[in-house]
Structures are given as C-alpha cells and as structure tokens.
Amino acid sequence: MTGRHGRIIKSLAGFYEVFDGQEIYRCRARGLFRAQGKKPLVGDRVVFEITDSVSIPKEGNVTDLLERKNELNRPDAANIDQVLVLFAFRDPSPSLNMLDRFLIHAAQLSLPAVLCFNKADLVSREEREKLAGIYRDSGCPVLCFSAKDASSLAGFLEIIHGKTSILTGPSGVGKSTLINTVCGQTRMETGELSRKISRGRNTTRHTELLTAGEDSYLIDTPGFTSLYLEGIEAGDLKAYYPEFGPYLDKCRFSGCLHDREPDCAVRTAVEEGLISVERYENYRMLYHDLKDRKRIY
Ligand code: GDP
Ligand code: ZN
C-alpha cells in the first residue's frame, strides 16, 4: 500500500473525510494520535492509505499529517489562505462598524481579507461605487457581485482559485446563495448533493471545506468574528487602518491617537477627503469602545 495525498474536508464522529482531488474517502486516523500525538484538523493535508476501495464511500486510514501553514480554533481548521468578508449592498444594509470588526479580526489572525459586496443587482452603480470607495485604501481588495448571477462572479472565482478561504459575514447577506452558485456543480459531481439539500439555516454546522473548483475550497463560518474586539489595546487600533499610514508621522504628537488631539494629520486628511470619513468615524467609535471597556473592567 502506497501513501496517497489528500485533504481533510470534514470531521465527524471520529471519521475524517479525505478528498484526493477526485474522490472522498472516509478515513480513520488510528495510530496517528496514539503514536505521534497529532489530532487531524479540517483543512489538513494528509497522507492516507486506502483500506477498502469497494465500499461506498471508499475507506482509508490517515497515516500522516503534512506541516500546517496555520491553525485556527474558531473555526477549528488548518491551512487557511484568506478570509472573504461578505456583506450585502442592501437587504440587509451593511453595518460598517461591524464590517471593520471583521477586517480587524482577520488582520489579528494574520489572514488577508477580501471584502465582497453582494446583491449588486439591488442598487445603482453610483451606490456601488460609493460603498466600494470607502474601502479603497483599506488594504484589502473589494469585489462587487450578485451571488444569484453566475456571470458576475468571475472576479470572485479568480480570487478564490487555488486557495482555501473562510467565507464569513452577517446572516442574510447571501452566503448560502453564493455557496450554492459556486460549489453546486462540484458537489453534485462528488455525489454530495444530499448534503447541499439538507443544509439548514439554523442547524448546527460542522466545519467543512466545500470544494469550489480545482483546489479551491470555502469554509462557511457565520461565527468567525465576535461582537467585541478581543486582544487589542485601544492605542493599537490605529495599526488596523492602513489608510492612516502616510499621515502618522505628521501629527503634532508622536503618540497621537487621532481622536481629538490638536494638529492631527489624520483628521486633517479626513477633512481634505484623503481618508474616508466612514472609516475614520468607525475607527473613533471602536477606539472609544476599547478605551471605555478598559475603564469598566
Ligand atoms: P445567508 O444568511 O448569508 O446564507 O444568506 P442567503 O443566501 O440565505 O440569502 C438571503 C436572501 O438574500 C435570500 O432571500 C436570497 O435569495 C437573497 N439573495 C442572495 N443573493 C442575492 C443577490 O445577489 N441578489 C438578490 N437580489 N438577492 C440575493
Ligand atoms: Zn493624529
């Protein structure tokens, strides 16, 4: 028996579903934990051997884990390349404050974020450009599309190609719709149609890699971010706003927090239209949240 390479796409009740690019194998990881103290995670690249190629699904045994690029615990997953933060232009209208928290959370985990605005069909071009413009200098790419219209998703497919992406965002923005449009075909090919149909809105979902084309995977994670920022000092928040960068050393005070200090170059840049007002206001709101929280506890 020779070792094959695959990816753990799902973990359930002691079994791991391993996808080798063609088929899914239901595997155990006997011995791996006992011998090496390693617990497989969804997203792990593994070596496995086939133990039964006649059963449906085929069965196997994971014999080794390849080195992880990274490891998260909310969701429990390994080898994540990026976070897709999905919001809708309308229905529901985006809370920009919440949006910033998603971006900050991704940055805290050292994961690049891509900002995706869905339901482009519901608003005018001017409205689309206005919202996208707010994030122009935020350091993350901004995509606009309609999850219901596959022809609008070329840019999205390009950005997820060859990567493992966490898809996150508030409810109602179109995550399920997007997944069905992008992963639908692949899942039917791999005989996973029943899973797609049984996807309930409020059922507890396990972390799972969904295949979205060749070597492209999505992880659907509603609970990726918490409502509160954790692990950030108020004074460090400014580092999460890349658009402040060019002005930082021009403030009168070297420790300027760009709040109400006199001669603040960041605030001047906002007044001159060089930094988006919305981003700046959200920065200040989150800054005060963090500062007040510290005072309370
Ligand atoms: P989720 O909660 O993020 O998974 O959102 P859903 O995928 O369930 O979508 C919420 C609602 O938005 C549903 O009624 C969808 O039909 C609708 N929706 C999703 N994508 C689009 C879109 O691109 N355009 C429009 N007009 N509606 C959409
Ligand atoms: Zn300043």
- Does ligand 1 have an atom closer than 6 angstroms to the CB of 118? yes
Residue closest by Cα to atom 26 of ligand 1:
119
pLDDT at position 249 is: 94
pLDDT for the residue numbered 177: 96
Q: Is 55 helix (H, G, I), strand (E, B) or coil?
A: coil
Q: Looking at this protein, which amino acid is placed at residue 81? A: D
Give me the sign of the Cα torsion angle 130, 133, 134, 135: positive
Cα–Cα dist 114/117, whole Å: 10
Cα 146 to averaged position of ligand 1 atoms, centre (Å): 9
Radius of gyration of the chain (CA): 22
In the numeric block, the tokens 């404050």 are attached to: 97
153 phi-psi bin (left φ>0, alpha ψ -120 to 50, beta other): alpha
d(CA 173, ligand 1 centre) in Å = 6
- pLDDT at res. 200: 42
Residue 220 CA to ligand 1 centre (angstroms): 15
92 preceded by a cis bond (ω within 30 of 0): yes
**How many angstroms does the Cα of residue 188 sit away from the middle of ligand 1?**
21
pLDDT score, position 74? 85
Q: Are strands 82-88 and 164-168 parallel, antiparallel or unpaired?
A: parallel
Which pLDDT score, from 0 to 100, does residue 191 have? Answer: 44
Q: Are 115 and 143 in contact (CB under 8 A)?
A: yes
**Per-residue model confidence (pLDDT) at position 265:** 98
Please, what are the averages of pLDDT over each run of 10 residues along the chain (297 residues)?
A: 88 92 93 82 96 95 95 93 98 96 95 98 98 97 97 97 96 95 64 44 68 92 74 95 97 96 98 98 96 71
Q: Strand, coil or helix: what is 42?
A: coil
DSSP readout, 194-258? HHHHT--SSS----BEEE-STT-EEEE-TTSS-SS--S--GGGGGGG-GGGGGGGGGSSSTT--S
What is the C-alpha to C-alpha distance for residues 27 and 48, in angstroms, rounded to an integer?
8
Using alpha carbons, list the distances in angstroms from residue 219 to 85, 164, 258.
12, 8, 36
Whole-number Å distance, alpha carbon 42 to ligand 2 midpoint, is 43
- Ligand 1 atom nearest the C-alpha of 145 is 23
How high is the pLDDT of residue 251? Answer: 98
| Ligand 1 probe mutation, 86, 149, 177, most atoms within 8 A of CB | 177
pLDDT of the residue at 259: 97
| Spatial contact of 210 and 270, defined as CB atoms under 8 Å apart | no
pTM for this one? Answer: 0.92
Q: Which atom of ligand 1 has the smallest separation from the CA of 180?
A: 7
Residue 104, burial from CB neighbour count under 10 angstroms (0-12, 13-18, 19+): buried
270 ligand 1 Cβ < 6 A:
no
Rounded Cα distance between 91 and 67, Å, is 42
CA dist 230 and 73 (Å) reads: 15
Q: Distance, CA 184 to ligand 1 centroid (Å)?
A: 15
How many C-beta atoms surround the C-beta of residue 187 within 10 A? 18
- Single out the residue of 288, 285, 278, 280 nearest to residue 241, CA to CA: 280
How long a stretch of residues is the chain? 297
121: Cβ below 6 Å to ligand 1? yes
